[in-house]
Amino acid sequence: MSAASQLQSQVDFLKGEPHRKHPGVTNLKTLRLPDELQTAARSIIHRAQVPRLPDRSCSLTNFLWSRKQAVETLTLRQKAVSLEKELWEKAMERRGDIDEQLLEDRIRKKVFSELRRTTYHWTPMKYDEELGVVYMAARLAGGFAAVRRAMNEIKKRDPSFAPQSLLDFGSGLGTVVWASHSCWGDSLKEMVCVDSSGPMNILAERLLKGDDERAEPHIKQVYFRQFLPVSPKVQFDLVVAAFTLSELLNVKEREEAVLTLWRKTNSYLVLVENGTKDGHRMLMDARDTLLKKQEKTVYDTRPATVFAPCPHELPCPKLAHEPTTPCNFQQMYQPLPLPGHSDRQTEKFSYLIVTRTEPAQAEAEGVDWARLIAPVQCRTRHVHCRMCCPDGQLQHLVVTARKHSRDEYRCARSSDWGDQLPMIRRVEDGVQTDSE
| 43 touches 211 (CB < 8 A) | yes
282 assigned to some structural domain: yes
199 and 96, same domain (yes or no): no
**pLDDT at res. 4:** 47
Question: What is the separation, in whole angstroms, between the first and last Cα of the chain?
Answer: 18
193 and 323, same domain (yes or no): yes
User: Domain boundary residue among 321, 337, 355?
Assistant: 355
77 assigned to some structural domain: yes
The residues facing 397 across adjacent strands are: 385
61 assigned to some structural domain: no
188 and 259, same domain (yes or no): yes
State the Cα torsion 108-114-117-118 to the nearest 10°: -130
The closest of 83, 116, 60, 72 to 249, measured between CA atoms, is: 72
**pLDDT at res. 364:** 54
414 assigned to some structural domain: no
201 and 297, same domain (yes or no): yes
Q: What percentage of the chain carries pLDDT values higher than 70?
A: 92
User: Domain boundary residue among 332, 355, 378?
Assistant: 355
Q: How many domains does the chain have?
A: 2
| Bond preceding residue 34 cis, omega within 30 of 0 | no
Instruction: Please report, in tens digits, the pLDDT of each residue of the chain (436 residues total).
Output: 444 444 444 457 787 788 888 889 999 999 999 999 999 999 999 999 999 999 999 999 999 999 888 888 888 888 888 888 888 777 777 666 667 778 788 888 888 888 888 888 888 899 999 999 999 999 999 999 999 999 999 999 999 999 999 999 999 999 999 999 999 998 999 999 999 999 999 999 999 999 999 999 999 999 999 998 878 789 999 999 999 999 999 999 999 999 999 999 999 999 999 999 999 999 999 999 999 988 878 888 899 999 999 999 999 999 988 788 999 999 999 999 988 778 899 999 999 999 998 764 445 556 889 999 999 999 998 999 999 999 999 999 999 988 888 888 999 999 999 999 988 765 443 333 454 4
178 and 107, same domain (yes or no): no
CATH number of the structural domain spanning residue 217: 3.40.50.150
378 assigned to some structural domain: no
**pLDDT at res. 343:** 85
Q: How far apart are CA 366 and CA 361, in angstroms?
A: 15
**pLDDT at res. 51:** 94
Other CB atoms within a 10 A radius of the CB of residue 131 amount to 17
158 and 102, same domain (yes or no): no
215 and 320, same domain (yes or no): yes
200 and 345, same domain (yes or no): yes
**pLDDT at res. 386:** 96
The closest of 295, 408, 285 to 354, measured between CA atoms, is: 285
Which amino acid, residue 343?
D
112 and 246, same domain (yes or no): no
Residues in contact with 93: Cβ distance below 8 Å, sequence separation at least 6, in sequence order = none
152 and 114, same domain (yes or no): no
| pLDDT tens digits, 162-207 | 999 999 999 999 999 999 999 999 899 999 999 999 999 999 999 9
**Bridge pairing between strands 265-274 and 236-242:** parallel
Q: How far apart are CA 415 and CA 230, in angstroms?
A: 44
Structural domain for 80, as ranges: 73-118
The closest of 166, 347, 160 to 241, measured between CA atoms, is: 166
145 assigned to some structural domain: yes
The closest of 200, 243, 205 to 67, measured between CA atoms, is: 243
**pLDDT at res. 226:** 92
**pLDDT at res. 1:** 40
Q: How far apart are CA 187 and CA 166, in angstroms?
A: 11
User: Domain boundary residue among 118, 149, 179?
Assistant: 118
Alpha helices (H) in 49-128, listed in sequence order: 53-66, 73-93, 100-118
Contacts 24+ apart (CB under 8 A), 207-211: 207/37, 207/40, 207/41, 207/44, 207/173, 207/174, 208/40, 208/174, 208/177, 209/40, 210/36, 210/39, 210/40, 210/43, 211/40, 211/43, 211/44, 211/47
110 and 194, same domain (yes or no): no
State the Cα torsion 262-264-266-270 to the nearest 10°: -50
12 assigned to some structural domain: no
423 assigned to some structural domain: no
321 and 241, same domain (yes or no): yes
